[in-house]
Amino acid sequence: MNLTEIIESRRDQHLAELCEFLRIPSVSAKSEHKPDIERGARWVADRLQSAGFKTVQVIPTSLHPLVYAESLEVPGKPTILFYGHYDVQPAEPLDLWTSPAFEPTVRNGNLYGRGTADDKGQVHIHLKAFESLRDVNGKLPINVKVLIEGEEEVGSPHFEAIAAKYAPLLQADGCLWEGSGFDKADRPILSLGTKGLLYVQLDVQAMNVDAHSGTASFLLATRPGPCQLAYTGWPCAHSWFLRRSHHSQRSRTRRHRCSDRYGRTADGGLWSQRVC
C-alpha cells in the first residue's frame, strides 16, 4: 500500500486514538488535573514510541512535563522540530457545550471536544504522519525532533528555561509550530515566520511639570530627570513616543526598536525614554 492507502485504511483507528487522547482532561491551569496532565504526557510519549521514535523522554519541570523525541536517521537531510502541546484550556462554562467537553462527539462531520482544534488534533496528525511514513518507507524522509509541552495554555512559564538548557538538543533547520487551518477554498494554510508571543514593557519618563497643550509637541526629555521646554521643532513629547512605539509594532517591517521620526533610537544618547 502507498501512503494515502495506508492512511485511508486506518482512518477509523486513527479517529478512535484521537478520541482517546481527547478524553484525557489535561487542563494545565487547574491543579486537580495534575494526574491527567501526567497521563497526557505519558500518552504522547507512548505514541511516539509506537511511531518508531527510539529516543523519547519526558522532561520534568516544576509544573508540567514536556515530551521530547527524535529520529535522526537520515544524515545530510534537514532536521525539522515539531512543536505542539498536550494541555488544554479549562472547559468552563460547561453549560455552553452541546456535548460534554471531554467526550469527543462527531456532529455533521465535525469532531467536537476540548483540545480537538488546539492542539491535540494537530499533535495527533503529526504522530500518525510519522507512523504512516515509517510504515511505508521504513524510515522518515527527514530528521525529526518533536517537543510537546504541557504548559502552553498557561503561558509556557518554564519553556524559556527548558529551551535554554536543552538548546543543542532542540537545534533544527526549521520548526513546525502546532498546526494551522484551511482557507475558504479548503486549502491547508501554511503561515511562515509569524508565530510567538511578544511581551513589551514600555517605561516612559513622564513630565513633572504642567504644560500648555499648545507647547506639548515641543517638550524635550533630558537624561536624567524631568522634562524641560526646548524649542527644537521636534515633536518629541512622551505621548508621541508611545504612539510611534505602538505603531512600530504593527508596521510591516516588524521593527521593535522604537525610534523617532528621524530614525534615532531611544538609546541613542539624546532620548531618556526607554521605550522598548
Give me the residues that bind Zn ion (CB under 5 A), please. 118-119
Nearer of residues 36 and 149 to Zn ion, judged by Cβ: 149
The three cell numbers locating residue 156: 509556557
**Residue nearest Zn ion by beta-carbon distance:** 119
Distance between CA atoms of 66 and 162, rounded to whole angstroms? 9
Q: Are 113 and 15 in contact (CB under 8 A)?
A: no
Minimum Å distance from CB 188 to Zn ion? 17
Burial class from Cβ neighbours inside 10 Å (0-12, 13-18, 19+) for residue 123 reads buried
Q: Are 217 and 240 in contact (CB under 8 A)?
A: yes
Minimum Å distance from CB 264 to Zn ion? 39
Distance between CA atoms of 133 and 55, rounded to whole angstroms? 18
Q: Are 35 and 27 in contact (CB under 8 A)?
A: no
Minimum Å distance from CB 204 to Zn ion? 33
The closest of 74, 51, 3 to 148, measured between CA atoms, is 51
Nearer of residues 81 and 276 to Zn ion, judged by Cβ: 81
Nearer of residues 131 and 151 to Zn ion, judged by Cβ: 151
Minimum Å distance from CB 180 to Zn ion? 11
Minimum Å distance from CB 179 to Zn ion? 8
Nearer of residues 116 and 143 to Zn ion, judged by Cβ: 116
Nearer of residues 17 and 118 to Zn ion, judged by Cβ: 118
